[in-house]
Amino acid sequence: MRTQVGIIGAGPAGLLLSHLLHLRGISSVVLERRSRAYVEQRVRAGVLEQGTVDTLVAAGVGARLLREGMPHGGVEIRYGGAAHRLDFADLLPGRRVTVYGQQEIVKDLIAARLAAGGDLRFEVEDVAVHGLEDRPYLTFGGRRLDCEVIAGCDGFHGVSRPSIPAGVLTVFERDYPFAWLGVLAEVAPSAEELVYGLSERGFALHSMRTPALSRFYLQVAAGDRIEDWPDERVWKELRLRLETVPGFTLRTGPVIEKIVTSLRSFVAEPMQYGRLYLAGDAAHIVPPTGAKGLNLAVADVRVLTEALARFFGTGSAELLDGYSAACLERVWRAQHFSWWMTTLTHELDTDGAYERRLRRAELDYVTSSRAGATVLAENYVG
């Protein structure tokens, strides 16, 4: 078997890359370890930057996103018994975010690829990467796929990054001493916009997916398991952390999904080796507080598509050679913002009175100064 671009991973990065390459007349095969149902059901990100929406719409896969996505012109930061709204429309006219589940994007992309006769293979075992220096090929389940280029879109735990020889990559990372419990509930959102709730009990986030589905995140201890968080405990804690301003009542309903996610910052440089190019979580991870991971994956794929179109169109590897450098500036801006949002909004066991006051001073600055608010808003909307 032969293709121009062998893509490992059918997450947002791999699927979007396959679709954008198809629009440029470039062939690809996508190899995914999980089943189609699994990747279409996996509940993760939900906040899309305008650039991400624009990319999907321009690529012809945005019809349902435009119909069902929920545009948001601001977010609320709730602390010290008061609500503080950051109004994107005022701070950054014309810019906003859209709430639309990542798994809906995955469904839309899979449908588009299959409608166009795309080659997506699910439940593929033992993908391995070979010949990166000159003649790249992939093996899986006893088969061989020859490629001109391999795209590693297989997330943080994939095979592509570990296939790069030792000594090539420099890794930058930080772990956080807490985790997030993500909860999806069949209940109408309790507020029209996202609420980032801060309290001495820890961080809580109110988000949504549809007018009938709410999404929540709770800061929990690193090492907590789902069994530690029965639904009654989840609702009690969400109430304590979010019902902190007058007039706000949390609506509750059946919990339909719960996950625990560890928080990590990670960058591997460069994002390429030989004929292998890493995109999305395969190359970098941010803690979810800034809602950047999915948006970064889409930004990488935009850059990689242009570089591959040039390569296959003219034979010039100039853009491919500069791929990593072209991505890393945005990657590090998002790294800083995500780290900053996380440390600004989460309680640490080691925090003393002094650290709490520092955080308070910074929150006051962000919510009362137009300059401070603009810093947050500009990074948030992308």
List contacts with ligand FAD (CB under 6 A).
8-14, 31-34, 39, 44-47, 102, 127, 153-155, 157-159, 182, 261, 280-281, 288, 291-295, 297
Contact present, 128 and 140 (Cβ < 8 Å): yes
Task: Please say if 323 is a catalytic residue.
Answer: no
Rounded Cα gap, residues 369 and 364, in angstroms: 8
- Residue 118 binding target from ligand DHB, ligand FAD, none, CB below 5 to 8 Å by type: none
Rounded Cα gap, residues 287 and 98, in angstroms: 19
To ligand FAD, the closest distance from the beta carbon of 155 in angstroms equals 3
Strands (E) in the chain, as ranges, are 5-8, 28-31, 47-48, 70-72, 74-79, 82-87, 97-99, 119-121, 128-130, 137-140, 143-146, 149-152, 170-185, 195-197, 204-210, 213-221, 255-269, 272-273, 276-278, 284-285
Task: Please say if 292 is a catalytic residue.
Answer: yes
Around Cβ 12, how many Cβ atoms within 10 Å? 28
- Smaller CB separation from ligand FAD, 261 or 343: 261
- Residue 183 binding target from ligand DHB, ligand FAD, none, CB below 5 to 8 Å by type: none
Residue whose CB is nearest to ligand DHB in the complex, by number? 46
Candidate list 5, 15, 39, 45; residue touching ligand DHB; CB under 6 A = 45
Task: Please say if 230 is a catalytic residue.
Answer: no
- Any contact of residue 11 with ligand DHB (CB under 6 A)? no
Task: Please say if 380 is a catalytic residue.
Answer: yes
**In degrees, to the nearest 5, what angle opens at C-alpha 93 toward C-alphas 92 and 97?**
70
CA quadruple 152, 157, 158, 161: dihedral positive or negative? positive
- Any contact of residue 77 with ligand DHB (CB under 6 A)? no
Rounded Cα gap, residues 114 and 111, in angstroms: 5
- Residue 204 binding target from ligand DHB, ligand FAD, none, CB below 5 to 8 Å by type: none
Contact present, 205 and 194 (Cβ < 8 Å): yes
Q: Which residue is it, tokens 């093996």? A: 139
To ligand FAD, the closest distance from the beta carbon of 275 in angstroms equals 18
- Smaller CB separation from ligand FAD, 163 or 364: 163
Q: Which of 100, 137, 196, 323 is catalytic?
A: 196
Q: Which of 72, 206, 284, 346 is catalytic?
A: 72
Residues that bind ligand DHB (CB under 6 A): 45-47, 194, 205, 207, 215, 288-289, 291
Positions marked active-site: 72, 196, 288, 292, 380
